[in-house]
Amino acid sequence: MGGYINVGGYLDVGGDWYWSHASMPSVFGKMTHRRILPPSWQRDHWGERLGVDTSGCYDEIIARLDVHELLKQDKWTRTERWMLESLLPEGGE
């Protein structure tokens, strides 16, 4: 994706969303999405931040994470926390 996202209302991303920016999108309405994932070229960075092996597909990588434990850490930026929270099952369980 290149350029800017300017959404004045409702943004519905039915599947996974790949987000490479340091800041969250500005949406002045409702935003729905599934998982928010980093693009593959950021694997090394996220592997260091998460402290996990980032080889394999996203489902394999996510299975290695204890998202609840990761979210207890205070090192996450607002955008990183938003991305991690998107990996929780619906309802945050």
Domain ranges of the chain: 11-85
pTM above 0.85, yes or no: no
Residue 43 and residue 48: Cα distance in Å, rounded?
A: 9
Instruction: Tell me the backbone φ, ψ of residue 48, rounded to 5 degrees.
Output: -65, -45
pLDDT in tens, 13-24: 677 888 888 888
pLDDT of 10: 62
Residue 80 and residue 73: Cα distance in Å, rounded?
A: 11
Residue 69 and residue 73: Cα distance in Å, rounded?
A: 7
Q: Which residues pair with 37 in a beta bridge?
A: 18
6 has a pLDDT exceeding 70: no
Q: Band the pLDDT of 1: cuts 50, 70, 90.
A: very low
Q: Band the pLDDT of 44: cuts 50, 70, 90.
A: very high
pLDDT of 28: 73
Residue 82 and residue 71: Cα distance in Å, rounded?
A: 10
pLDDT of 33: 77
91 has a pLDDT exceeding 60: no
